[in-house]
Amino acid sequence: MTVQKMPISVLSAVAEIERENIRTQTMAGREQKAREGRWNDGFAPYGYKLVNGELMIAEDEAEVIRLIYDRYIHTNEGTSSVAKYLNDYGYVKKIRHNRTIPGFLDHFVKKVIDNPVYMGKIAYGLRRTEKKIGTRKHGIT
């Protein structure tokens, strides 16, 4: 190794160690929030709002969520029929900060039905790439 390449190698190694330290501390903080049952993701799911890091029911959106579950459970309608019902009967989807479209789609209804948050559970660790016992596919608290 030449003398000129050595400082670059040392700086590179130090930067890699610092990156790993930041990653470790960030993940430890996220795991602690998950243990405490606090919201650990980005935007709050439709029907909820974030207040000091906690999920709170957003009453202006919650009626739609309740109606989705009611129609899906108590009728023979699928996700596309529930979305069509919402659009046909004048329900308006509140535009969120994550640039969602104004109308209801079957994909939105399916995401609501499949989301464990609406059962009072917070999922964590489902999208991890490394193996961690007790989290992958079992990360619901």
pLDDT tens-digit readout, 2-26:
656 678 888 888 899 999 999 988 8
Whether 139 shows a pLDDT value over 70: the answer reads no
Instruction: Tell me the pTM.
Output: 0.66
In this predicted structure, what is the pLDDT of residue 63? 93
Any idea what the Cα angle at residue 91 is, between residues 89 and 95, rounded to 5°? 155
pLDDT in tens, 18-74: 999 999 888 887 778 777 777 776 788 899 998 887 888 999 899 999 999 999 999
Whether 131 shows a pLDDT value over 90: the answer reads no
In this predicted structure, what is the pLDDT of residue 141? 45
Mean pLDDT in residue range 75-101 = 87
Q: Please give the torsion angle defined by the CA atoms of residues 39, 44, 49 and 55, in that order, rounded to the nearest 10 degrees.
A: -20
Cβ proximity of 51 and 121 under 8 Å: no
The DSSP secondary structure of 30-74, one letter per residue, reads: HHHHHHTT---SSSPPTTEEEETTEEEE-HHHHHHHHHHHHHHHH
In this predicted structure, what is the pLDDT of residue 95? 79
In this predicted structure, what is the pLDDT of residue 72? 95
Whether 79 shows a pLDDT value over 90: the answer reads yes
